[in-house]
Every structure is written in C-alpha cells, then in structure tokens.
Amino acid sequence: MKLKDRTIWITGASSGVGAGMAKVFHREGAELILSARRLGELERVKAACTQGPGSVRLVPFDVIDAGQREQAAREVLGNYPRLDILVNNAGIGQRSAAKDTLPEVERRIMEVDFFAPVALTKLVLPRMIEQQGGHLVVTSSVAGKHAVPHHSTYCAAKHALHGYFDTLRIEHLADHIDVTLLVIAGIRSDVYEHALTADGSEYGASIGSDGTSMSAEECAGQVVDGILRRDFETVIGIEMALQALRIKDKDPAAFVQRMAGMMKWLEKS
C-alpha cells in the first residue's frame, strides 16, 4: 500500500477528482478526512471507500466561510496528532466570456479557487512546521499554465495558485514541506455542471462524458505516484487536452489560433 498510515485531508471530496482521490487513497492505505459542503454526497463517497484498512472521517464545511473553515481545521488538528497531506481540491469552474462576466462572479471564483485554499493552508501550516514535514497538494489545471477562452477568471485563479504555492515551497524547504501542483485536463467530472456563467448561474451541461476523458480514479492513481515522487508539478490528462500545453511553449502564435478555434466551438456548444 503506497500511502499506508498517512493522514490525508481532501477538500472537494464529494464528487469528481476529489471522490476519485478518496477511493484510491483509501485503497492505498491512507487515513482519510473528507470535506465538502454536501454531507449526503460525502457519505456516499465514504460508503465507496471499502478496499482499504484506514478510517474515513467526514468534516463538511464551506471553504469560503471563514468561520466554518476555522472550525473544520480545529476539528481535524484536534483529532489527528499528525497531518501528512492536505489536498486543496475544492474549486469551481467558469463558462463565460470575460466581457460579460459580472464582477461579483469573478470575485466568487477567486474566493473559491484561490483565497480559500490559501486560507486553509495557512491554518494547517503551523502543524506541518511543528512536525517538520508535510505535503501540500493543490488541484490546478492546464488553465493554470495557459489561457483558455471563456475561463478568464478561472485561469487567473489557477495561475495565482502556481505563484503562491511555488513560493511557499521555497519558503518552507527547510521545514521539509513538499508542494505538488496537479496540472490536470480532460478528467471526467461535474466541473461544467456547476461552473458559473456570466451572471453567476450554473452552466448545467456535462462535457467529457463521451468516453474520451480520463476517469477520476485513473487520475487519482497518477496523483499517488506524483506524491511519492514529490513532484513539483504532476501533469495528468488525455493527449488531446495536453497538446495545447506543449504548443504554447513551442509556437505561441499557433497556440493562440488553436484557442481561438476552441472559443468558436465553446460558443456553439
């Protein structure tokens, strides 16, 4: 078992990549703390964690509520003498053109996708410093490495995660705290179903369920390997989704044309 006896706290664990990580990490021997807003969905994920020996504790809370966030951290740190890994996975998507997106929608995306994981990290960081070790895993995206049309604020938040956590890695190198950013794309999830449109309503459509996307559990298996390698970044996705990542560095002009074509497709779908 690759994660035997490691205590791991996963946010956004009620569905998608978070749920996939919960199942795979448990199978690999981890002691789990699972968080999300929806207790019923967390209970469903817990019921599916049957293949490992470790315990599964549910700590439901809203990541952007400071009071709930602090109470969740007190509960976790009060019940576990050591926290080995925090997985900042909770997030929200976007599906709207920059020119149409209301400022309050942009602020909500930044709160969920950037400020909340930073705040939660700062609540557990003293424990990791005290124990002289730990691992911060942050779910980013190819949108944290390059532009994606109709995802302007989402891209901004994911880019910000890289700047912040890359710096944190350096600042706490002497504390033996590892940082891994997950650069993922093309993973089967409900990210588009709950993505925010220009006025803040949910998009509601599902993309990536046609058999070409990667399952959340397959993604989670690669996350385990990235944790064990102590990757700075772990890139996970289907070939089609990762092509743009390579094109951006080799031929920026070709990348822009490719994304312009993607924008036309998004506007039709």
Q: List the domain range (segments joined by +) for residue 189.
A: 7-244
pLDDT of the residue at 268: 77
196 within domain boundaries: yes
167 within domain boundaries: yes
Question: How many CB atoms sit inside 10 A of residue 201's CB?
Answer: 11
Question: How many CB atoms sit inside 10 A of residue 99's CB?
Answer: 7
Active-site residue flag, 203:
no
Buried b (16+ CB within 10 A) or exposed e, 230-240: ebebbbbbeee
268 within domain boundaries: no
Q: Say which CATH number the domain at 66 has.
A: 3.40.50.720
Cα dihedral: 151, 156, 161, 167 (round 10): 150
Q: Among 80, 154, 164, 203, which one carries the catalytic annotation?
A: 154
The 3-state secondary structure of 223-238 reads HHHHHHHCCCEEEEEC
pTM of the model: 0.95
pLDDT of the residue at 267: 85
Burial of 127 per CB tally in 10 Å (0-12, 13-18, 19+): middle
Q: Would you write out the chain's pLDDT as a tens digit for each of its 269 residues?
A: 999 999 999 999 999 999 999 999 999 999 999 999 999 999 999 999 999 999 999 999 999 999 999 999 999 999 999 999 999 999 999 999 999 999 999 999 999 999 999 999 999 999 999 999 999 999 999 999 999 999 999 999 999 999 999 999 999 999 999 999 999 999 988 777 889 999 999 998 655 444 568 999 999 999 999 999 999 999 999 888 889 999 998 999 999 999 999 998 888 76
266 within domain boundaries: no
The tally of domains found in the chain comes to 1
69 within domain boundaries: yes
> Are β-strands 85-88 and 56-58 bridged in parallel, bridged antiparallel, or unpaired?
unpaired
224 within domain boundaries: yes
227 within domain boundaries: yes
253 within domain boundaries: no
